[in-house]
Amino acid sequence: MNAELCLKKLQYVGVLAFATVDEYGNPQIRNISAIHYEPDSMYFFTARGKNFCKELLENGRVQVLGYTKYKEMIRLSSKAEPVADEEQKKWIDTIFREQPYLDNLYPGDTRNIGIVFKIRNAEIEYFNLGVNPIFRESYSIGDVHITKKGYSITDKCIGCGKCVENCPQHCIEKEKPFKIQQEHCLHCGNCLNVCPVSAVKKIN
Ligand code: SF4
Ligand code: SF4
């Protein structure tokens, strides 16, 4: 798995959820399929009058989520940016050519009320719940830092084995100290919950 394959899988999913935060701090999610994919970026269309557009123009922060029929969750965290004015028409026409249903929504020149945003820097989380043990990994496109998440075991570990017994994915190795296989971890927190000496810490 890699970032390019994640983008291909999102293209296969077709309709993605785009989340922003509105001016009152409330989450706002909408489904979008007016998307063009490149191997290392994606372009999407919305209308300039929509709150979605306003929220994106304010700070660009957006999360994009797709879920495949094979139980794969793919999430992009990014800052979208509007395509340059002189390139807007090219990308609007590209997206309308690839998604003919858009002509039904915006016939003729009414498509020009649209605006195309580009996602070229993003952190990508891939999470496959359809395999055993589960598999997760993070990738990036463009210039972004990958945020580490989950749990880790510190030197305080006394090797009692309670975390191993209670881990639903059996992804803790009996080393010194015990070690979590991060790519198979659910981030459920059960190991932290049962550890008698607080040797497990949450990664932030
Ligand atoms: S429960 Fe805590 S002390 Fe026991 S093996 Fe796991 S991490 Fe180590
Ligand atoms: S967070 Fe959950 S899945 Fe991950 S190691 Fe701890 S118990 Fe196992």
Q: Residue 184 maps to which CATH number?
A: 3.30.70.20
- Is the domain of 46 the same as that of 133? yes
Does the residue 91 lie in any domain? Answer: yes
Domain count of the chain? 2
Token digits for 199? 């040797």
User: What is this structure's pTM?
Assistant: 0.92
Question: Which residue has the least CA distance to atom 2 on ligand 1?
Answer: 195
Cite the DSSP H helix spans in 50-203.
Answer: 51-59, 85-98, 102-105, 162-166, 190-194
Domain of residue 128 covers 3-141
Q: Which amino acids bring their CB within 6 angstroms of ligand 1?
A: 153, 157-163, 178, 194-195, 197, 199-200
- Is the domain of 121 the same as that of 164? no
Does the residue 146 lie in any domain? Answer: no
User: pLDDT 10s digit of each residue in the chain, 204 long?
Assistant: 999 999 999 999 999 999 999 999 999 999 999 999 999 999 999 999 999 999 999 999 999 999 999 999 999 999 999 999 999 999 999 999 999 999 999 999 999 999 999 999 999 999 999 999 999 999 999 999 899 999 999 999 999 999 999 999 999 999 999 999 999 999 999 999 999 999 999 998
